A and B are shown apart, each in its own frame.
Chain A
């Protein structure tokens, strides 16, 4: 059996708009219990934010996304956290991760155009103290984000009535 908090999170992760009343029905608990637990989860920072997943490409030209990998030279008494947090402050940056392998830090940028993203990387990131090299990959097409596929496929149909 999954614990109560995890069950709530599983429901909310899939649908941020689920109300405490609805979650209570699904989990067989009272609305008050659910609301109290959600409050706990919000206050303790387990739930960071309620968001909507949008496929921007469907409504206009959308955005340009790039994944950028960095090699970083560490300075004494400054770990990876310092530079990662510095990068995270830019509003253009959507995610920042410390990674294993050839590079040290990987982050994603969203911009209005390739030029826009390229300038951002050369002006704001490559010039940061400790950045040794950057490697920018522009995203050509996205197939799946946050566990949700972005392409439309017709689903095979079940028979309407079966034993």
Chain B
């Protein structure tokens, strides 16, 4: 064969192989089988629509307070653009230790028991990956934030959803918790104040859960990112209960309370053994949280209290306004006591959550998230975020009223 014939032949072979190449066949089965987030699906419908009023947003409508942004700009001007230690800026860990002591009365060692993460989302993922072996079960009270179940699956674990109910103000009931526990159960993920329901758990509610946690030797991963957003009295952290600090990986961040969602800073507090394992995963995947965002977080914790309180007062007012309007419209909704969501029942309309949300969007241009996006037990509900201006809330309510009238209600 001539030299040119050989190369032509090789090319032909390569092309035949290329034609067999189907990228889809190279996907991990865990990821392939994972349904896309219900929120994402809904987002696709919204794209391109004009004049939409959104009650669908899981973040504050405030921009990050100026002094926090300014501190970040100042630090960038100073050239602070390199990596921080894996665990995060020491200054940030130190100040978190102080503020946690002040808020919760708990001691965490900034060297070994605090890890700064890229948002609480990363911290949730790390907590599962650091603790879950294949087949381990994690109890996930639902409705809940959309990432818990996929994160458990990615860690090789088995998520075990437990339904919470409107009649019980969406609290995790010890009976339901107990029923879900078996010999494979390793952990419980708690998230109160809750997204999407706005539910909280009081100290008494949590104590009943803690008894079962001890009895069954479970780990608790507690996502308390809405802790500053409670409206009737102070938040109780699961880690504050007697003997629970060492069993709890406490996750939190500045996103919601300081209007810092886009910065991506969160943190994990917990026992050195678990935090050390999480740090290992973190250092091989994320290396460190963004430096500039960590600098901003220091400023937020040090001097953000006044704004946090002012934003809280405003959320509280919007909450009252929105809930009283829902009542007027006749949509049953318990009074949300935390976060910035109301979770009215739309069961009486005869529509499913997705039908309701989709029709409401198409007919009246109000975006809200169908409750089933947060788990099966969210079916029949609609998550409405009141982190939007009072004018918009009232306009949205008018539109919902017209929508309900159109349904003959």
Residue numbers of A with Cβ under 8 A of B are 2, 7, 10-11, 25-28, 156, 158-163
Contact = CB atoms under 8 A, between A and B. Distances in A.
**Most chain B C-beta atoms within 10 Å of own C-beta, residue among A27, A160, A161:** A161
B191 interface: no
A161 B57 contact: yes
13 contacts: A7-B313, A26-B321, A27-B320, A28-B320, A158-B59, A159-B43, A160-B43, A161-B43, A161-B56, A161-B369, A163-B39, A163-B146, A163-B195
A156 B59 CA distance: 14
Contacts of B367: 160-161
B320 A161 contact: no
Interface residues of B, number: 26
Nearest to A11: B317
**Most chain A C-beta atoms within 10 Å of own C-beta, residue among B37, B39, B147, B318:** B39
Contacts of A28: 320
A160 B52 contact: yes
B360 to A, nearest CB: 13
A143 B317 CA distance: 29
B324 A161 contact: no
A27 B52 contact: no
B58 A162 contact: yes
Contacts, number: 51
A143 to B, nearest CB: 14
Interface in B335-383: 367, 369
A162 B56 CA distance: 6
Contacts of B317: 11, 26-27
**Most chain B C-beta atoms within 10 Å of own C-beta, residue among A10, A158, A163:** A163
Per CB-CB distance, the 4 closest pairs between chain A and chain B, nearest first, are A161-B56, A26-B317, A160-B54, A162-B58
B46 interface: yes
Interface string B166-207: 000000000000000000000000000001000000000000
A7 B59 CA distance: 24
B320 A26 contact: yes
B37 A160 contact: no
